[in-house]
């Protein structure tokens, strides 16, 4: 099994490896068999964590280990610089786990990633897992299984539930990629859909979406051209709307309720995706689509 | 965090954007004193964080002895779920022109967008819909603040020239710098008033600060005290909480999981009492406080808990819930689904504390169990 983005060629570093969470998560990612080559914590160069060498910056991990990916566990206040450094050092897959990152910082991270053709997952993501190959993130490895279903999710824990139900039905995952739950994230769903469409190990894709924004609507435009079936579940039908934007928001999102469950489901259905009313329906729809 | 009008205007004034002379009042007496100092006429404006105040009777032009009675009628008024507890008493100004100037973080494109329309005022949404060519947009690269000449060209599209163009450009520049410096998600001036003497003032403010950036902002403390008490408490605990109308409390680790739980309750014909998302890093203390917070809503008679544990053993969270329950005189019915690190220990703690445990993967199973328990 290969899956997308995270594969046997991945040589990842853990930024923030000497922190409590970074250290524990690094050990779990190593146990899972992930290709991790080093850790980074400024001021701790020369140390060792779980047998991994620790460097003061990301650049040195590229010089010494050909690092090409990173998973970042630093406090929200420092995540922007950690991501920009990783991009500047030339890494091509960056997973930003932290939640509560200021939006203005995310705008910069996202723009820099786009300008440099970098895959930035997050912030506020569980990360990415290619079962049997590795994981860069905090998802429990034992909740996933090798298989041929690609999952794209805006939600961490809800995607664990969906994966669990898919596995109970006899399927497994090629890759699960969490784009992140924040209003602005580094990667749009549609880019991941394109990867799954061209991945020989993926037979079908499940989208775990949420209300807000237009990334599901945008994804729908590509689903129309896809050869592989797509099943989608969108959370938030009963969430109260309009808690935030003023006139400025209303102006931008004019044109008929983009962001609601109805809008997303309509766009996805018209594009040919199968819509699950609840997480428990996803596996049944996959069976029908792959029959 | 949404700011009230007067709070937003304070930020504007600090940034050099002119606002009408005025002060806030908590009582009719205070309002009368401030109005007397302002002049023969004044405007009373209810301070609530929602639009439509004028139509609801929350904005009045007053003069002379009528001030006290009018202030008394607005204070205590209910506007869209918000009780009016504060008035802004301002000088009465006549605008020759009302302009719209706004700035927003556009989450879809991941950019900052500056919006401008010469047709500002209460009908801006209608203008945006019916005359979209009268609303101008400037997309800002987060790494590059547009230089003044770019802003000038942007504003000139509204048909302005000379001194007024320079004034408006200056306000746009100040608003943009304020938004970047203060981590604003929304910064809107509508109307931006142009007076007969050429002065340009912010007639209203709509400002929202990014909660995630409060740690690096200096002004938070002076505004926090004015927020909704339950939401303020949630912010202090470190969880996201939204109060709803039903009687079933919801606690979940993750927004998607919380919304799915709410959706399933509603589909089964029941109403959630709240949305509560714990975020990662579940501890005993966090769940203890979160559970108590949910139960402070008097309507709550049952709670559904839906958790995945990570680095912190999930059993710690269970201890927090059970401790909170043991301190309650009228404990609610509680059903928990909890998976992850130390889940078996977690289930034992819940069961010993009188909580029904669902061990299935499906949230639906927990919802069914809860409905069985409360029927």
- A2-24 pLDDT, tens per residue? 789 999 999 999 999 999 999 99
Same domain, B87 and B100: no
Predicted confidence (pLDDT) at residue A229 exceeds the cutoff of 80 = yes
Same domain, B124 and B260: no
Q: What is the mean pLDDT of residues A267-287?
A: 97
Q: What is the mean pLDDT of residues A203-217?
A: 92
**Are the Cβ atoms of A252 and B275 closer than 8 angstroms?**
no
pLDDT of residue A12: 98
Q: How far is B112 from chain A (nearest CA, A)?
A: 8
What CATH number labels A144-291? 3.40.50.261
Same domain, B287 and B341: yes
Ramachandran quadrant class, A125 (left: phi over 0; alpha: psi -120 to 50; beta: rest): beta
Residues of chain B with pLDDT under 70: 219-228
In total, how many domains does chain B have?
3
**Are the Cβ atoms of B183 and A107 closer than 8 angstroms?**
no
**Domain extent at residue B64:** 21-91
Q: Does A103 touch chain B (CB under 8 A)?
A: yes
Hey, where are the domains in chain A?
8-124, 144-291
Residues of chain A with pLDDT > 90, as a percent, come to 85
Of B113, B259, B311, Cβ closest to residue A236: B259
Q: What is the CATH number of the domain that holds B63?
A: 3.30.1490.20
Q: What is the mean pLDDT of residues A114-142?
A: 96
Of A153, A250, A279, Cβ closest to residue B260: A279
C-alpha span between B313 and B317 (Å, rounded): 8
Is residue B14 included in any domain, yes or no?
no
Q: What is the CATH number of the domain that holds B246?
A: 3.40.50.261
Same domain, B367 and B242: yes
Same domain, B274 and B368: yes
Predicted confidence (pLDDT) at residue A174 exceeds the cutoff of 60 = yes
Q: DSSP assignment of B36-64, as one string?
A: HHH-SEEEEEE--SSS-TTTTT-EEEEET
Query: Considering only CB atoms, which chain B residues are within 8 Å of A161?
Result: 257, 260, 361-363
Same domain, B369 and B242: yes
Q: How far is B178 from chain A (nearest CA, A)?
A: 13
**Are the Cβ atoms of B128 and A157 closer than 8 angstroms?**
no
Q: Does A217 touch chain B (CB under 8 A)?
A: no
Q: DSSP assignment of A223-282, as one string?
A: HTT-SS-EEEEEE-TTSPP-SS--HHHHHHTTTTTTTSHHHHHHHHHHTTPEEESSGGGH
Query: Considering only CB atoms, which chain B residues are within 8 Å of A246?
Result: 51, 102, 104, 186, 188, 206, 208
Same domain, B186 and B240: no
Of A165, A208, A247, Cβ closest to residue B124: A247
Same domain, B144 and B175: yes
Same domain, B252 and B214: no
A8-124 adopts what CATH topology? Rossmann fold (3.40.50)
**Are the Cβ atoms of A103 and B103 closer than 8 angstroms?**
no
Q: DSSP assignment of B158-224, as one string?
A: TT--HHHHHHHHHHHHHHHHHHHHTTEEEEEEEEEEEETTS-EEE---EEEE-GGGGGG-SSHHHHH
Question: How long is chain B?
Answer: 375
Window from A29-33, A248-252, B211-215, B229-233 with minimum mean pLDDT:
A248-252
pLDDT of residue A65: 98
Same domain, B252 and B283: yes
Is residue B328 included in any domain, yes or no?
yes
pLDDT of residue A181: 87
Q: What is the CATH number of the domain that holds B192?
A: 3.30.470.20
pLDDT of residue A246: 29
pLDDT of residue A251: 45
Residue B222: Cβ within 10 Å count: 10
Is residue B135 included in any domain, yes or no?
yes
């Amino acid at each position: 099994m290969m899956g997308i983005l995270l594969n046997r060629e991945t040589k990842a570093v853990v930024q923030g490896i000497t922190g409590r969470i970074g250290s524990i998560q690094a050990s779990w990612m190593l146990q899972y068999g992930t290709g991790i080559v080093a850790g980074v914590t400024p001021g701790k160069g020369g140390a060792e964590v779980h047998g991994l060498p620790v460097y003061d910056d990301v650049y040195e991990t590229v010089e010494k280990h050909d690092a090409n990916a990173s998973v970042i566990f630093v406090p929200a206040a420092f995540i922007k610089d950690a991501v920009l450094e990783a991009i500047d050092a030339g890494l091509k897959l960056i997973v930003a786990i932290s939640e509560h990152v200021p939006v203005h910082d995310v705008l910069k991270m996202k723009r820099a990633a786009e300008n440099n053709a970098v895959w930035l997952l997050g912030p506020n993501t569980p990360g990415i897992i290619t079962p049997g190959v590795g994981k860069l993130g905090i998802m429990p490895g034992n909740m996933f299984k090798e298989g041929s279903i690609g999952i794209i999710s805006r939600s961490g824990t809800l995607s664990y539930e969906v994966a669990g139900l898919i596995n109970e039905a006899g399927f497994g995952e090629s890759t699960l990629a969490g784009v992140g739950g924040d209003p602005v994230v580094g990667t749009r769903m549609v880019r991941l859909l394109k990867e799954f469409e061209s991945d020989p190990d993926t037979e079908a894709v499940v989208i775990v979406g949420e209300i807000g924004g237009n990334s599901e609507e945008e994804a729908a435009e590509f689903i129309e051209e896809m050869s592989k079936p797509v099943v989608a579940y969108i959370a938030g039908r009963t969430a109260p709307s309009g808690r935030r934007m003023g006139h400025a928001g209303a102006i931008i999102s004019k044109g008929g309720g983009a962001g609601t469950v109805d809008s997303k489901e309509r766009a996805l259905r018209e594009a040919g995706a199968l819509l699950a009313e609840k997480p428990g329906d996803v596996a049944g729809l996959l069976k029908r689509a792959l029959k | 965090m949404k700011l009230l009008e007067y709070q937003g205007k304070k930020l504007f004034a600090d940034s050099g954007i002119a606002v009408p002379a005025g002060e806030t009042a908590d009582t009719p007496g205070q309002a009368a004193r401030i109005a007397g100092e302002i002049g023969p006429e004044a405007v009373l404006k209810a301070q609530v964080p929602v639009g439509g105040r004028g139509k609801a009777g929350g904005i009045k032009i007053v003069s002379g002895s009528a001030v006290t009675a009018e202030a008394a009628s607005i204070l205590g008024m209910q506007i869209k779920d918000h009780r009016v507890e504060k008035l802004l008493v301002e000088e009465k100004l006549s605008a020759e022109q009302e302009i719209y100037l706004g700035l927003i973080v556009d989450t879809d494109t991941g950019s900052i967008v500056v919006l401008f329309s010469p047709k500002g005022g209460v009908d801006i949404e209608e203008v945006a819909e019916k005359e979209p060519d009268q609303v101008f947009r400037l997309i800002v690269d987060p790494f590059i603040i547009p230089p003044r000449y770019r802003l000038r060209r942007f504003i000139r599209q509204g048909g302005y020239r000379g001194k007024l163009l320079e004034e408006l450009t200056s306000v746009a520049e100040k608003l943009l710098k304020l938004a970047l410096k203060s981590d604003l998600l929304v910064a809107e001036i509508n109307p931006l008033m142009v007076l007969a003497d050429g002065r340009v003032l912010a007639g209203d403010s709509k400002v929202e600060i990014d909660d995630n950036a409060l740690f690096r902002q200096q002004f938070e403390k002076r505004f926090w005290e004015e927020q909704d008490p339950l939401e303020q408490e949630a912010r202090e605990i470190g969880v996201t909480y939204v109060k709803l109308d039903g009687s079933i409390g919801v606690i979940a680790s993750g927004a998607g999981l919380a919304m799915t739980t709410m959706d399933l309750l509603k589909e089964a014909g029941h109403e959630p009492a709240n949305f509560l998302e714990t975020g990662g890093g579940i501890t005993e203390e966090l769940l203890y406080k979160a559970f108590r917070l949910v139960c402070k809503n008097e309507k709550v008679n049952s709670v559904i808990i839906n958790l995945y544990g990570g680095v912190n053993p999930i059993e710690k969270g269970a201890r927090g819930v059970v401790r909170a329950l043991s301190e309650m005189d009228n404990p609610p019915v509680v059903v928990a689904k909890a998976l992850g690190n130390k889940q078996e220990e977690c289930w034992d703690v819940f069961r010993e504390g009188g909580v029904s445990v669902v061990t299935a993967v499906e949230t639906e199973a927990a919802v069914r169990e809860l409905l069985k328990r409360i029927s």
